[in-house]
Amino acid sequence: MTQAPARARTAAQEVAELCATLIRFATVNRGEGDAHPERPAAEYVAGLLDEVGAESVVVESEPGRASTLARISGTDPSAPAFLIHGHLDVVPADPSEWTVHPFSGEVRDGCVWGRGAVDMKGSLAMTLAVVRQRLREGRRTRGDLVLAFLADEECTGRLGSYHVVREHRDLFTGVAEAISESGGFSVTPHTADGSPAGKRIYPIATGERGTTWMRLTARGTAGHGSKPAPDNAVAELCHAVSRLASYEWPVRLTPGVRALLDGLAEALGTTIDHDRLDEEARRLGRVGRLFAGTIRNSLNPTRLDAGYKVNVVPGVATAQVDGRFLPGTKEEFLATVDRLLGPSVTREFINEDDAPSADPAGPTFAALADALRAEDPAAHPVPYVMSGGTDAKAFHRIGIRSFGFAPLLLGPELDYQGMFHGVDERVPVEGLRFGTRVLDRFLDTR
């Protein structure tokens, strides 16, 4: 008697395993060329896609720094193509600080644990699981579906997203919009007595702040540490860095942030005082964190380098700073930096990217919001501007507008935003399964 073939698993059934396996590829990116190659993870992804007939290609910008790309034909050649992109690399993790080993992919207490569970191998697993199920079932999007699993996002993207948009531009022909990380997750507001409210906020990212990573340099006269040093490079640099760090950047309410504030006020049934936004952010707790980092520009010193011996005054001192600016404020931001630095300290860009944005009033945002509400009746989707940056910046340069949309239903006890680059990063299995259902619904609209 012939045994019937085993039924293929659904996206919901395989998504947690895919997430755990991806986490076990320790694709750590420390920046400045210090990275574990993404190639093994890229080849694993390619194999999963090839298995269901999505012909993929693994491309390298440098040996081992690999991305996986695929374009899956749709049912209507005249329909616009759509892109889903995400990154394979992760930031470092110290195992001594974690409850489980950060690259174990262990499933514990209903969650998949490990570096990248949140940022963003959980999202990649959802994409893979949904695309695999749809292709096994013969369901295709109307327009072509383009997939990009990228290297190097945790540094500058130059070896990942920027490489593929430059060297493989044809793959993205006809693509106008995309989805990627850092949006679509639930945030549970709390009532005045601290109990969870009966609704959930789902921020869908429609933009992000621009990036200016800069190297600051002060020059002086080298000499003996025991002698007067009126043009001490270290002192000049420290004074300048202190001015930058202590500067209070003014509130700048961009259209995207105003839309978020309006959406939150409506969803929460409250008013948000635009003249007291720092206080309002604290009052609203986790919901307030959605706008606390995007109501003004910011600049943080992150590195200092000078000298080689205690009794030698160095002739050069350098610092690195992470600057972020809101859409439309770049010139004001840089003018303020130059004023605070003064004439003795120069700056140069390590990385510079503009602030991309997408349309919160268009049909794609509406489709994303509808997919969330269909799976969670308590969902209140709102437009959202990210304080950090993603590979959306690279695709923005070739005319592709990205929405941050990696859908997850989360319990009120889980501080999802706090786990980005944090210790004990983890994602709920049920949240991943929810995300596959939402993503599948959304792809039916493409």
pLDDT tens per residue across span 311-362: 999 999 999 999 999 988 999 999 999 999 999 999 999 999 988 889 898 9
Q: Which residues pair with 22 in a beta bridge?
A: none
Predicted local distance difference test score (pLDDT) of residue 413: 81
Strand, helix or coil at 37?
coil
The pLDDT value given to residue 192 = 62
Cis peptide before 120 (omega within 30 of 0): yes
Task: Spell out, as residue ranges, where the chain has pLDDT lower than 70.
Answer: 1-7, 191-196
Pairing verdict, β 210-219 and 316-325:
antiparallel
What local confidence, expressed as pLDDT, does residue 17 receive?
Answer: 98
Residue 125 · residue 22 · CB < 8 Å: yes
Nearest by Cα to 65 from 97, 98, 88: 88
The reported pLDDT for the residue numbered 198 is: 75
DSSP for 178-241, written as a single string: EEESS-SB-B--B-TTSPBPS-EEEEEEEEE-EEEEEEEEEE---EETTS--TT-HHHHHHHHH
pLDDT of residue 389: 87
For 437, the 3-state DSSP assignment is helix
Cβ atoms of residues 340 and 243 within 8 Å: yes
